[in-house]
Amino acid sequence: MAPPLLKLDDIRLTFGGTPLLASASLMVGPGERLALVGRNGSGKSTLLKIAAGLVEPQDGEIFRQPTATIRYLPQTPDWQGFATVRAYVEAGLGPADDINRVALVIDRLGLTGDEDPATLSGGEARRAALARVLAPEPDLLLLDEPTNHLDLATIEWLEEELQRTSSALVTISHDRRFLEKVSRATVWLDRGVTRRLDKGFAHFEDWRDQVLEEEEREQHKLARKIEREEHWLRYGVTARRKRNVRRLGELQALREKHRSHRGAEGVATMAASDAAESGKLVIEAKGLAKAYDGLQVVKDFSTRILRGDRVGLVGPNGAGKTTLINLLTGKLEPDEGSLRLGANLEIAILDQKRALDPLETLSHFLTDGRGDSVVVNGQERHVVSYMKDFLFKPEQARTPIRELSGGERARLVLARLLARPANLLVLDEPTNDLDMETLDLLQELVEDFPGTVLLVSHDRDFLDRTVTSTIAPAGDGRWIEYAGGYSDMMAQRKGEELERRKTRSAEQQKAKPAGNAGAPKSAAKKLSYKQKFALETLPKKIDELADEMAALEEKLADPNLYTRDAAAFQRFSKELDTARASREKMEEEWLELEMLREEVEGA
């Protein structure tokens, strides 16, 4: 068995108070794909920094294979000293790395390499940071929130790239669908201790619930045992003195064990403050258009949004999602078209930039500096009590915002937003930096909110769970609204593409010279025997390839495969790529033949 690339054992770290890492372990072998999951503030990013050698623990053993190359993707890259993105990416290469991959990876991530790092948007900065760690093709990739600020197209490209690479992987992400696709094992960091599941993230939540239920049962048994021992000491028959002393000592040990047990982390309480009900019609837009410097961002867009609708907006970064949101809420004047807003609208907006004063305290931020109380749903509450709803500790009331993690900042902004009365919520990338438990609560809030929601997100799973319709760009400033969530939109787009191909084929047939216009009907074009045979047999072959791909994916899901047989891992990966390409080719061939069959039958 090959030695591990990285091994952290019994890692301990405390910043005062409760230990952040009490007994954390992490072992990564060649080719392994691990998802590192846990609540915000549980120490995931710190553990990854320890793995990368950027933070020293107070105790524990660390082994890094001397010949292994390790690359770490931080949440906030350091751009100092780099004039261009290309220079920043090249600085991440080792002596044996291929410099030609820099241009290749930069191009695939939609950058030129000549950009000034200081002027990059959030999405561009994340792509540049990814290029730096992907270009060297290291033995081990440590990725901290790689999908933050990325658009859907880039996230899907990154999934394919990580599935293709032979690099081992440890990733932290709030994107469920991303983790399901790239992970083959899961490490759960909970209350300073790690547990490992040798299955991908898709199996994690059921396993986590079982662990917590078993833990609760054990604590209940322990409490009952303490109760029995206390009863024996008080009322039992007096036995030998030594025996009584021993049992008293055991009882004290049981009490200490029960007291020292850190229960499962609390759950945030989220509820939006109610405003007066809006009118049935919330937004009516007709022919909206907006252009900047000759670039048409929105063109002839019309929609009608009613009370209770939950509308998602998706699209690449820079496509104009924020512009469209601002047009629909009346914050931006259109160049053309008309907008009608419903009666009694109270709008609360979560801006994805979330500009915060790093020196401002949590209490001051939540109360806007007006004392120690916050008004929620018409009732005055002490700010510390309200903070507890969002999992903040009382002692954090006077903590500067700069001391918070990314996830804690996201919760803080949500806490202030939800304290304000609203019947129209505008949420621009609300899922960034939130842990999965808080995401679940936000999902429930969006689903149960009695008003209307406009939601901009790149989180496919979150969109599928929450929205009733999805607006997506169609090019040239055109935007189309689809019923349902992200997956529904993709299915409808696939159907539209099929219809477009059929229409193009029909138009091409009409445009051909009518050389045989006078020929009898019996001379009409027919499918050849070969084409008929292919039309009948291709579906079966496509299904067989799907079964073959599933079998290969199951083999590749073995976390020990690369360690046990690296050549087999590479062979299975290539076979999977070949099967995937063959299936796509067969599907294309079948589609063309199916359109030809319909054309012949129509004639």
Helix (H) or strand (E) segment spanning residue 473: strand 469-475
| Cα separation, 206 vs 197, whole angstroms | 11
Q: Is the pLDDT reported for residue 562 higher than 90?
A: no
Rounded average pLDDT over 96-102: 89
* 321 appears as a binding residue in the annotation: yes
In the chain, the percentage of residues whose pLDDT exceeds 90 is: 34
- In degrees and rounded to multiples of 5, residue 271 shows phi and psi of -155, 130
* 494 appears as a binding residue in the annotation: no
- Supply the pLDDT for residue 522: 39
Q: How far is CA 259 from CA 180, 219, 263, in A?
A: 37, 10, 10
CATH code 3.40.50.300 for 281-488:
yes
Q: Which strands form 168-172's sheet, in the order they lie side by side?
A: 59-64, 6-13, 21-28, 193-197, 185-190, 33-37, 168-172, 140-144, 70-73
Model confidence at 518, pLDDT cuts 50, 70, 90, reads: very low
Query: Under CATH, which number does the domain 521-602 receive?
Result: 1.10.287.380
* 432 appears as a binding residue in the annotation: no
Helix (H) or strand (E) segment spanning residue 190: strand 185-190
- In degrees and rounded to multiples of 5, residue 132 shows phi and psi of -65, -35
Residue-wise pLDDT tens digits, 320-360: 898 999 999 999 999 999 999 988 888 888 876 667 888 89
For the stretch 49-57, contacts whose Cβ atoms lie closer than 8 Å and that sit 24 or more positions apart, written own/partner, are 50/8, 50/11, 50/13, 51/6, 51/8, 51/26, 51/142, 51/170, 52/142, 55/13, 57/11, 57/12, 57/13, 57/21
* Domain map (residue ranges) of the chain: 6-206, 207-260, 281-488, 521-602
Rounded average pLDDT over 94-109: 89
* 41 appears as a binding residue in the annotation: yes
Q: Are 345 and 329 in contact (CB under 8 A)?
A: no
| Cα separation, 345 vs 366, whole angstroms | 23
Rounded average pLDDT over 47-68: 94
One fold for 6-206 and 521-602: no
Model confidence at 265, pLDDT cuts 50, 70, 90, reads: low
Model confidence at 390, pLDDT cuts 50, 70, 90, reads: confident
Rounded average pLDDT over 421-430: 87
* 343 appears as a binding residue in the annotation: no
| Cα separation, 459 vs 462, whole angstroms | 5
Rounded average pLDDT over 233-255: 57
What rounded mean pLDDT belongs to the chain? 83
Rounded average pLDDT over 526-547: 80
Q: Are 176 and 461 in contact (CB under 8 A)?
A: yes
Model confidence at 580, pLDDT cuts 50, 70, 90, reads: confident
- In degrees and rounded to multiples of 5, residue 480 shows phi and psi of -125, 140
Q: Is the pLDDT reported for residue 239 higher than 50?
A: no
Q: Are 50 and 9 in contact (CB under 8 A)?
A: no
* 44 appears as a binding residue in the annotation: yes
User: What are 489's two structure tokens?
Assistant: 């939109």
- Supply the pLDDT for residue 42: 84
Q: Are 33 and 183 in contact (CB under 8 A)?
A: yes
In the chain, the percentage of residues whose pLDDT exceeds 70 is: 84
Q: Which of 176-190, 299-313, 334-348, 367-381 has the lowest mean pLDDT?
A: 367-381
Q: Is the pLDDT reported for residue 232 higher than 80?
A: no
| Of residues 444 and 263, more confidently modeled | 444
Q: Is the pLDDT reported for residue 152 higher than 90?
A: no
* 515 appears as a binding residue in the annotation: no
With tokens 């209940």, the residue in question is: 220
- In degrees and rounded to multiples of 5, residue 321 shows phi and psi of -60, -45
User: What are 203's two structure tokens?
Assistant: 């199996």
Helix (H) or strand (E) segment spanning residue 407: helix 406-418
Q: Are 427 and 306 in contact (CB under 8 A)?
A: no
Rounded average pLDDT over 453-477: 90
* 331 appears as a binding residue in the annotation: no
| Cα separation, 287 vs 350, whole angstroms | 26
- Supply the pLDDT for residue 519: 42
Q: Are 483 and 469 in contact (CB under 8 A)?
A: yes
* 407 appears as a binding residue in the annotation: no
* 39 appears as a binding residue in the annotation: yes
Q: Which amino acid is at 156?
A: E
Give the pTM: 0.67
Rounded average pLDDT over 305-323: 89
Model confidence at 256, pLDDT cuts 50, 70, 90, reads: low
Q: Is the pLDDT reported for residue 14 higher than 70?
A: yes
* 38 appears as a binding residue in the annotation: yes
* 316 appears as a binding residue in the annotation: yes
* 192 appears as a binding residue in the annotation: no
* 320 appears as a binding residue in the annotation: yes
Q: Where are the beta strands (DSSP E) in 216-357?
A: 281-292, 295-306, 310-313, 336-341, 347-350
6-206 CATH, one of 3.40.720.10, 3.40.50.300, 3.40.640.10, 3.40.50.10800: 3.40.50.300
| Of residues 569 and 129, more confidently modeled | 129
* 16 appears as a binding residue in the annotation: no
User: What are 538's two structure tokens?
Assistant: 């291709």
Q: Are 424 and 274 in contact (CB under 8 A)?
A: no
* 45 appears as a binding residue in the annotation: yes
Q: Give whichever of 24-28, 402-406, 576-580 has the largest mean pLDDT.
A: 24-28
